[in-house]
Amino acid sequence: MPSPLLFKVTLGVTGGIAAYKSAEVVRALQRHSLDVHVVMTRAAEEFVRPLTFASLTGHKVFTSLWQTDAYEDVGIEHISEAQSTNLLLVAPATADTLAKFAHGLADDFLSTLYLATTAPVLVAPAMNVNMWNHAATQANLSTLRQRGVEIIEPGSGYLACGMTGSGRLAEIDEIVHAVLVLIQRLDEHPARDLAGETVLITAGGTREPIDPVRFIGNRSSGRMGYALAEAAIARGAKVILVSAPTALATPAGCERIDVTTASQMHEAVLAHLPQATIVVKAAAVSDFRPTAVAPQKLRRSGPLTLSLEPTEDIAQSVAAHRNPGTLLIAFAAEIPIDTQDLIRNAREKMGRKGADAIVANDVSQSALGFDSERNAATFITPTREVAFPAQSKSDLAHHILDEVAHLRAAKAK
């Protein structure tokens, strides 16, 4: 746990009836020696006065981008707060605030602070049950999760509107626990332990054309590779992301190279390999492609036979052409008979590819891996195996990079 008042938590308070509970959140965090600062939206002021939080925290409460008492700071304070905070916690988080965050709107102090900060973000939603269940809200939550925002799920019960269901602000103890777990995680992996590294990451599923409109592909969403890119950036690395087609937004601070086919990915990886000190092959690369691509759309006129040929083995090419000392981390998506089969297959692939380590995951589980925001994996090196249980891909990315950092330190000895 950080020393008293050295870890700064910025608490965003938004306009819902649960805003009165935010004062309790402040006190509970202070009992753990955290330095709490408060940002309020205009709507939040209709429920709780800024003076309440100023009295509790001993700090100025930010309510507007246009502070009338300090014109010399106009347009600056939200950047200063964004850079100085260690954690942004929004409790309660209304549907409106979640939508602003998800769509990058910045029309008040809190939404601007969110876009400007690189600190971890926790949100505790609170709203009417129908608003919580609405497809728009759920889509916004999915977008935020993909970007690394952690969601403290609301409770279920009698709501202020008179309805019963999900939407109640999580209990104070749950919110504080989530904050402390995140702080512990940050404490375990130093914020800049990959500073000075250039990490080349591949992500997404490649597509091999059959004709102008059809292709051979796979179910990879690219989420794992993108989560690794975001985590590596957060830990101080320069990141080059070679991405197959995906709907994901480019992680802030990385160089992204878009490709479609395995051949294009192979070419892009080798072109940027001289810069890389760590290569993470998280993409799901097609193993085969048609030997010939039809120049026009194929018509349905009976059975069709495709002749296929192997695509380039990108990992083997990296192993053969990398600079001395460059780490190669491969991925193995397996449908194993059992755990030992998973490990055995992954170890064989690691040796065949010439990788320093391999991340093996069982893609036969429908709720994990492809098309999912969660994953489970085993990090394998020639001398050890570390299993990671099911968790968000953002969390798993940091666990994987923990092992990469350890591997780097071991190689340096």
- Of 280, 151, 185, the closest CA to residue 227 belongs to 280
Round to whole Å and give the CA distance between 260 and 256: 13
Domains and CATH numbers, the chain: 8-188 (3.40.50.1950), 198-412 (3.40.50.10300)
Asked if 289 and 313 touch (Cβ cutoff 8 Å), the reply is no
Residue 133, C-beta contacts closer than 8 angstroms, at least 6 positions apart: 165, 166
For 236-252, the three-class secondary structure string (H helix, E strand, C coil) is CCEEEEEECCCCCCCCC
CA–centroid distance for 106 within its chain:
21
pLDDT of residue 242: 98
pLDDT of residue 167: 79
pLDDT along the chain (413 residues), means of 10: 64 94 94 92 95 93 73 56 89 96 93 90 92 93 86 77 74 90 69 85 97 93 93 89 93 90 98 98 96 94 92 97 97 76 91 96 71 85 89 88 90 71
Catalytic residue (one of 161, 304, 306, 410): 161
- Of 357, 363, 356, 369, the closest CA to residue 396 belongs to 369
- Of 227, 209, 312, the closest CA to residue 270 belongs to 312
**Sign of the C-alpha dihedral computed for residues 262, 395, 12 and 117 taken in this order:** negative
Round to whole Å and give the CA distance between 395 and 389: 11
pLDDT of residue 51: 95
Supply the pTM of this predicted model. Answer: 0.58
Q: Is 254 a catalytic residue?
A: no
Residue 11, C-beta contacts closer than 8 angstroms, at least 6 positions apart: 22, 25, 26, 29, 36, 37, 38, 39, 53, 89, 90, 91
Using left for φ > 0, alpha for ψ between -120 and 50, and beta otherwise, residue 180 falls in alpha
Q: How would you label 368-386 residue by residue, b for 16+ Cβ within 10 Å and e otherwise?
A: bbbebbbbbbbbbbeeeeb
For 318-330, the three-class secondary structure string (H helix, E strand, C coil) is HHHHCCCCCEEEE
